[in-house]
Amino acid sequence: MRVTLAITGASGAQYGLRLLEVLLSNGHQVYLMVSKAAHVVIATETTWQLPARPAELEAELVKRFAIDPSLLHVFGREQWMAPVASGSGAPSAMVICPCSTGTLSAIATGACNNLIERAADVALKERRKLIVVPRESPYSAIHLENMLKITNMGGVILPASPGFYHQPEHVSDLVDFIVARILNQLGIEQQLLPRWGEQFS
């Protein structure tokens, strides 16, 4: 499968990076965008030192995940000729993980001021799968209204709110809970977390 993944500047960079790792290591092709703020969050929340320039970021991630270079394409914030900027080139699914409230607002209003916002707009107009993983606490009425708007337009709001019924022992278990939920939404088989009821069968 080919998936567009945008990592924006909400807390929870690990969700997006783990999703990227799982997709790539299972042979899925990823069109990746990382916002400027996401780079700051990644540097704050992880030990990863990721270059800002798309080509360098792509090379670094290909090396880090030891993957076939054809699986990953990284696009810059104003790379309007990228496939994700048009309905004729964009993959059938896009995930924004984590999604800042700023990007949430831009999607709800169709702002299209950068490639992430444009790609989300394309996903909605083409009636393709758009999975948005917001992270903020508490939510304001603006955030909630924007989430409702996106839901009414066909997007899926999948908040970064992990459950605890799988008895997590490590932070990575909580991260994998959300990543598994995203993969389920994408229709991609995953072994990170049993589906509800499976652990009793």
Give residues in contact with ligand FMN (CB under 6 A).
Answer: 8-11, 35, 37-38, 40-41, 44, 100-103, 135-136
CB of 84 to ligand FMN, least distance (A): 16
CB of 57 to ligand FMN, least distance (A): 15
CB of 186 to ligand FMN, least distance (A): 22
| Rounded Cα–Cα distance for residues 10 and 104 (Å) | 10
Token code pair at residue 7:
């990592």
Closer by beta carbon to ligand FMN, 22 or else 101: 101
Closest to 5 measured CA to CA, from 71, 88, 80: 71
Question: Which residue has its beta carbon closest to ligand FMN?
Answer: 9
| Rounded Cα–Cα distance for residues 186 and 63 (Å) | 26
Q: Give 118: exposed, middle or buried? Use CB within 10 Å, 0-12, 13-18, 19+.
A: buried
CB of 9 to ligand FMN, least distance (A): 3
CB of 25 to ligand FMN, least distance (A): 25
Closer by beta carbon to ligand FMN, 9 or else 54: 9
Helices 54-65 and 13-25 pack at an angle, to 10 degrees, of 60
| Rounded Cα–Cα distance for residues 96 and 33 (Å) | 9
Closer by beta carbon to ligand FMN, 60 or else 136: 136
Closer by beta carbon to ligand FMN, 71 or else 160: 160
Q: For 173-198, b where at least 16 C-beta lie within 10 A, e where not — what string?
A: ebbbbbbbbbbeebebebebbeeeee
CB of 41 to ligand FMN, least distance (A): 5
Closer by beta carbon to ligand FMN, 13 or else 71: 13
| Rounded Cα–Cα distance for residues 9 and 40 (Å) | 7
| Rounded Cα–Cα distance for residues 21 and 178 (Å) | 14
Closer by beta carbon to ligand FMN, 35 or else 176: 35
